[in-house]
């Protein structure tokens, strides 16, 4: 049984994004892959937009919508509960993706996407509230790929003559593997290595959990007059860094050699 995450927002379009962020965080914490996370985000976006635009028809602007997310036996379950008038989105006729342009209505795709993107969609009306339950199965490969359980697993570390170290994480830095990065970097800090070069050349994906680790270690290194210096970020990861403003916080170099060279010049 997983932990239930919960968010309540008022029924306004500008709050949809907050719900998206919430569901992305919950889905990443549940170790869904990037594609499944995207699908959950879009399904929640479409469902909330429907509730706000159709269910409430803007009249009860501000009534609460509750969203919960829970991982349960390999299934990620999202519920969306609102107090609007009865509105069963599943009753509405889905548009036809094969329709040619001239007969195509521009809109009406929200519920179509929810059904396509999720594995199961259920609607019930109980106690004057609408309950929409969205279910996403975790892809088999992720279920079998056991999460990193041994807390002593570490990423490779190379110590330099200067006392600085190069840490080389690889693969996906998500909620499963970010603790491993944190352990690796924390151990180096505690051993007095405060200049930490993190070579990200083999990192293909970074979730918010990985970003958090980098920033918290960066803070701790700064407190000890050290630094965290990144190199080899793939373009998509650079984008994520720019989005959250980390590119202004952390020193980033195209590759480890230029990172080391820049540091050597300073000292």
Partner 1 sequence: MTMEINISELKRAHLFELAGRVDSTNASELGETLNRVVENGRTNLVLDLYGVEYMSSAGLREMVRVLKRVKKSGGDLRIANPSERVKEVLELAGLDTIFNIYPTQVEAVGSF
Gap between the Cα atoms of 228 and 197, Å rounded: 6
Q: Which residues contact partner 1 (rule: CB under 8 A)?
A: 13-14, 16-17, 20, 35, 38, 41-42, 45-46, 49, 53, 96-102, 104, 106-107, 109-110, 112-113, 116-117, 239, 243
**Smallest gap from residue 219 Cβ to partner 1 (A):** 23
- Which CB atom, from 113 or from 123, has the smaller least distance to partner 1? 113
**Smallest gap from residue 120 Cβ to partner 1 (A):** 17
Q: Determine contact, residues 199/166, Cβ cutoff 8 Å.
A: yes
Looking only at the bridges linking them, the beta strands covering 165-167 and 170-173 are: unpaired
- Which CB atom, from 51 or from 221, has the smaller least distance to partner 1? 51
Q: Determine contact, residues 88/13, Cβ cutoff 8 Å.
A: no
**Smallest gap from residue 239 Cβ to partner 1 (A):** 7
- Which CB atom, from 45 or from 199, has the smaller least distance to partner 1? 45
- Which CB atom, from 101 or from 248, has the smaller least distance to partner 1? 101
Describe the crossing of helices 16-29 and 34-50 by its angle, rounded to 10 degrees.
150
**Smallest gap from residue 101 Cβ to partner 1 (A):** 5
Coil/strand/helix, residue 150 = coil
- Which CB atom, from 86 or from 99, has the smaller least distance to partner 1? 99
Q: Determine contact, residues 233/252, Cβ cutoff 8 Å.
A: yes
- Which CB atom, from 41 or from 184, has the smaller least distance to partner 1? 41
- Which CB atom, from 143 or from 244, has the smaller least distance to partner 1? 244
**Apex 202 CA angle, 196 and 205, nearest 5:** 95
**Smallest gap from residue 173 Cβ to partner 1 (A):** 18
Residues contacting residue 203 through CB under 8 Å, at least 6 positions apart:
169, 170, 171, 172, 173, 232, 233, 234, 237
Cα radius of gyration rounded to whole Å, the chain: 23
Query: What region, left, alpha or beta, does residue 100 occupy, with left being phi > 0 and alpha being psi -120 to 50 degrees?
Result: beta
**Smallest gap from residue 29 Cβ to partner 1 (A):** 19
**Smallest gap from residue 11 Cβ to partner 1 (A):** 12
């Amino acid at each position: 049984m997983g932990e239930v995450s919960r968010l309540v927002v008022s029924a306004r379009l500008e709050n949809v994004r907050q719900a998206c962020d919430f569901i992305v965080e919950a889905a990443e914490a549940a170790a869904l892959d990037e594609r499944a996370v995207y699908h959950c985000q879009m399904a929640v976006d479409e469902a909330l937009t429907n509730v706000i635009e159709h269910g409430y028809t803007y009249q009860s602007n501000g009534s609460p919508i509750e969203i919960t997310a829970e991982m349960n036996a390999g299934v990620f379950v999202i519920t969306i509960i609102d107090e609007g008038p009865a509105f069963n989105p599943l009753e509405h006729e889905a548009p036809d993706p094969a329709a040619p342009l001239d007969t195509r209505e521009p809109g009406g795709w929200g519920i179509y996407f929810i059904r396509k993107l999720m594995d199961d969609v259920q609607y019930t009306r109980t106690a004057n509230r609408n309950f929409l339950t969205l279910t996403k199965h975790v892809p088999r490969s992720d279920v079998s790929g056991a999460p990193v359980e041994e807390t002593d697993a570490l990423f490779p570390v190379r110590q330099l003559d200067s006392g600085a170290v190069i840490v080389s994480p690889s693969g996906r830095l998500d909620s499963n593997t970010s603790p491993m990065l944190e352990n690796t970097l924390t151990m180096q800090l505690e051993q007095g290595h405060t200049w930490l070069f993190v070579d990200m050349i083999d990192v293909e994906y970074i979730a918010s959990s990985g970003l958090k680790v980098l920033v918290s270690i960066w803070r701790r290194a700064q407190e000890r007059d050290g630094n965290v210096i990144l190199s080899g970020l793939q373009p998509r990861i650079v984008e994520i860094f720019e989005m959250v403003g980390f590119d202004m916080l952390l020193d980033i170099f195209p590759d480890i050699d230029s990172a080391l060279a820049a540091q050597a010049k300073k000292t």
